[in-house]
Structure formats: C-alpha cells, structure tokens
Amino acid sequence: MENWSFPAVYDPAYIPEPDSRYWFRTRETMPPAERDGAILRRLRQVTAYAYERAPFYRRIWDEAEFHPSKLTSLEDFEELVPVITKQDLRASQAASPPFGDYLCIDPSEVFHLHGTSGTTGDPTAFAIGRGDWEAISNAHARVMWGMGLRPGDTVFVASVFSLYMGSWGTLSGAERLGATCFPFGAGAPGMSARAVHWLKRVRPTALYGTPSYALYLVDVARDEGIDPREFGLELLFFSGEPGGSIPGVRDRIREAFGARVVDTGTMAEMTPWMNAAGSRETEGMMLWQDIIYTEICHPRTFRRVPYGQRGTPVYTHLERTSQPMIRLLSGDLTRWEEGPSTCGRTYPLLPDGVFGRIDDGFTIRGENVYPSEIDAVLSALADYGGEHRIIISREGAMDELLVQVEGVPEVYEKGERGEEFRRQTAADLQRVLGIRTQVEVVAIETFPRTDFKARRVIDDRDLFRDMHQRLGG
C-alpha cells in the first residue's frame, strides 16, 4: 500500500497525474478483505504504541483484561477493546491538564493546539504533533483530490477560524494539494455581504462551509443583486452539520450555485475528519477506512451492525501519534452499506451521510424523530422559505410536535395557497415521521440565518401552548 506506515511518513512533493481519479489507487480500490488485513496489522501497532505510552489506555485496557498481544482479528478488536467517550477524555484532561494522560508525545512536541468551545461542558484540548499535522494535511489533500480539486484551483474557506477544526483542516489540505487558498472566514458582522462580492470577484473553484451557511449566502447574494451562479463555483463541500447528503438540502444548493455538492465530516477529535467524505462521482459519504478505521455499531452493545442497518460510528485513528483515539464512540447516527462506490473506491458507504447526534433525537408518542428527517422533508418543498423551528413539548398527557415553517411570500401572504402549503407540509411530515405534526407557516426571514451550525430544536412548553392556542388547538 502506497506510503502507509506508522508513524505516517509522506513525500511532501508527491502529486498524482492530473487525470488520475485516485491519489493512492491501490489503497482506494483494493479488495476490502485485503484492506481489512492491513488494518488489523496497523491496529496491532497502534494499540501497542498507545499501551506503552498512554496511562489512559493502559488503565482502561488492563481493567477490561485486554492487551495488544491478544489482537488476532478485527472481531477481537470489536469484542475486547472497550469504547471511550468524550466524557472519558474530559475526565482525563481534568485529572492531567492540559492534554490528558492519553497524550503520547512530549508536550514540547505539540505543533498545533485546537479544542472545543466548552459551551456544553469543560473544553477539550487537541494537541497535535508536527508529524500528525502533516499526515492530516496529506489525508485531506487526498480526499479533496477525490472531490475533483487539483493544484491551482482556488478554495474559499467560509467558516470560522477559531478553535473550530473544520476551517484549519480544510486549509491544511488545500495547501498540501497545491491549491490557491482563500481563508475568508465567517462570523463577523457584515462579513457575508463582503463574502458574496469577493466570491463574484475571485470566482473560486470551491467553497467550504456548512450547508446552512451556503443557503444563507444565497439569500445574501440575492439581497445584493447577485445571482450565486455568477460566483462560478464548481464545487461546494461541507461539514459541521447534516445537509450535504440530504436530497432536499443538497438539491437546493446545487440549483442555486450550479455546482456539485460533496458531504464530509465526522468529529473534531478524529481529525483528519474528512475520513468520511464523498467524491466527485458519489452522493453521500464513503468511509476512508485506511485513514481512520470506522465501525458502525449498535449504540448499546457497541458491536458492529450488518450492512444496511443504522448505528453509531466508532472511530480509531490509524496514523495519529499525539492523541490517538482508539474506539471513540461518536454518539452520531448513520446507516452504512458495503460498497463499492460509483467512483470505483471499495470503501463502505454512508449513503445518507451522518443524520446527526443520537442525543439530538427525541421521542414523540413512541416514535424516534431526528431533526435531519424534518430538514429533508421541508427542503424538498418548492415553497419552503429556507428556515424552520421544531418545538417539542407535552400538552396534557401526550407528547406534541409543532414545526414553524417559513413560507415564500406567495404562500405566506395568500390565505388559500398558504393553507394548502400547511396541509401538504403536515401530510409529508406525518408520512416520513409516522406521527401527527402540527405546522404553522410564518413569514420568510422570521428566523435568523447562521454562518455556523444551525440550531433549530426548541423545547419550550410555554411557547408551545401559545402557538397551540393560536392554531385553534
């Protein structure tokens, strides 16, 4: 397998021939069973490395009576190696600040320091060694090559440059690829209006951000009197939230920009997070298993589910030497298939992408509901105004679900057509979710747009009662 070693060492001057579909043909197209054998050999190396250097893993594995010498099959890995969680990582860093006792290099060797925002708990520090950063850059360049990007293309990075790993990972991959990088960023007041003028002026090949922000840019561009197709984009690729693999969302973005859409992304802790990503020819995502080994597991047993079923991804680094994640439980929800993909790569597939986090889901009258399912229904509606809110509560003895949906002016301002839109939306939601859903149509731009991850779910009982009364319930 091309340039596959542990620790990872890549030739910084290597670039495939421009007409090559693959960065590493052998690694990307080899028979899955042959790849699994190579992954097993790598897992033995990675677990032995971590056991020797990280008290965190040695403590957990000794308690589970696992030792790397016991690893003789991928089934052994699944059965014998415990999963770890984000809570485990935070506890380790609290006890051994700042990087935790799973840091496997000397702190003086840390090259990049990133982290979580800490908005839902103590922040987690990501300590990345120089060799790891180079491996991340190579992995992202390789995946971006699969999207169709080539040296000399211009990549417009339209996401926040802060602790957020998405921006930096994209930038590092684009630089390694030999692309022209435009790290525009996002988040400052008025920045989106400036972005659309820069996009029209520079006409980059590709834009990276979130699906929500891409749709927001469409509105901003039109407010500025600019057709988003004037940007000349050939590719938009996303991470950070579901959407890039949701047909309704993906198709709206394709139509607005006249460009291809590729979905990417797993977890910041697992950077290179493009280990789940589509290619130029695919929809949904592929699991680039020789970058990060991914198991789709039952969320309670942590055993792999058969192809065709839903589960939660469990990730293992195959190249990271600084803070290797070994069987990190994502808490996300997805469905996998065996592959190969239409591009000839023999990786497992996530045809629907990552739906979202399991704990973002909620139960209404016994049915599991995920916000991404509602996003998909609404985005497929021709008169959808671009944003919505999901209100969940309990009215009396019953769980209730109400969705506020922006309607285009022709719908919101005309009673009969608006009522038909409301009825159609409610019927489509019931068909997909399997439960009755109340729908309220509101004016376009009722809800603020975002340049980062959209937050659309509200659990507000008083607000629900007020809306319920307005709807005559």
pLDDT of residue 356: 76
pLDDT of residue 471: 59
pLDDT of residue 461: 45
156: Cα separation from own chain's centroid = 18
Q: Are residues 335 and 375 both part of a single domain?
A: no
d(CA 242, CA 211): 8
> Per mean pLDDT, which range of 6-10, 171-175, 354-358 is the poorest?
354-358
> Per mean pLDDT, which range of 44-58, 152-166, 446-460 is the poorest?
446-460
Residue 439 has pLDDT above 80, yes or no: yes
Q: Are residues 275 and 408 both part of a single domain?
A: no
Residue 414 has pLDDT above 70, yes or no: no
Two tokens at 150?
Answer: 């080539």
CATH number of the domain to which 404 belongs:
3.30.300.30
Domain boundary residue among 322, 352, 382? 352
Q: Are residues 177 and 276 both part of a single domain?
A: yes
Domain boundary residue among 335, 352, 369? 352
Residue 12 has pLDDT above 90, yes or no: yes
Q: Are residues 371 and 245 both part of a single domain?
A: no
Over residues 304-341, the pLDDT tens digits come to: 999 999 999 999 999 999 999 999 999 998 999 999 99
What predicted TM-score, i.e. pTM, was given to this entire model?
0.82
Q: Binning pLDDT at 50, 70 and 90, where does residue 241 land?
A: confident
Mean pLDDT of the 215-219 span:
91
Q: Are residues 47 and 12 both part of a single domain?
A: yes
Mean pLDDT of the 405-424 span:
84
Q: How many domains does the chain have?
A: 2
Q: Binning pLDDT at 50, 70 and 90, where does residue 386 land?
A: confident
Q: Are residues 420 and 448 both part of a single domain?
A: yes
Q: Are residues 268 and 335 both part of a single domain?
A: yes
Q: Are residues 187 and 226 both part of a single domain?
A: yes
Q: Are residues 333 and 416 both part of a single domain?
A: no
Q: Binning pLDDT at 50, 70 and 90, where does residue 465 land?
A: low
d(CA 207, CA 209): 7
d(CA 311, CA 358): 9
Q: Are residues 110 and 163 both part of a single domain?
A: yes
Q: Are residues 375 and 298 both part of a single domain?
A: no
Q: Binning pLDDT at 50, 70 and 90, where does residue 458 land?
A: confident
Q: Are residues 133 and 214 both part of a single domain?
A: yes
CATH number of the domain to which 229 belongs:
3.40.50.12780
Residue 379 has pLDDT above 70, yes or no: yes
Q: What is the mean pLDDT of the chain?
A: 91
**449 or 56, which is more confident:** 56
Q: Binning pLDDT at 50, 70 and 90, where does residue 369 land?
A: confident
Percent over 90 (pLDDT), the chain: 69
C-alpha dihedral sign at 269, 275, 278, 280: positive
Domain boundary residue among 295, 330, 352? 352
Helix axis angle for 247-257 and 371-379, nearest 10°, is 40
For residue 125, the enclosing domain spans: 1-352
d(CA 225, CA 213): 18
Two tokens at 90?
Answer: 């935070």
Mean pLDDT of the 17-27 span:
97
Mean pLDDT of the 234-252 span:
89
d(CA 54, CA 104): 6
Mean pLDDT of the 387-403 span:
76
Over residues 78-137, the pLDDT tens digits come to: 999 999 999 999 999 999 999 999 999 999 999 999 998 654 557 899 999 999 999 999
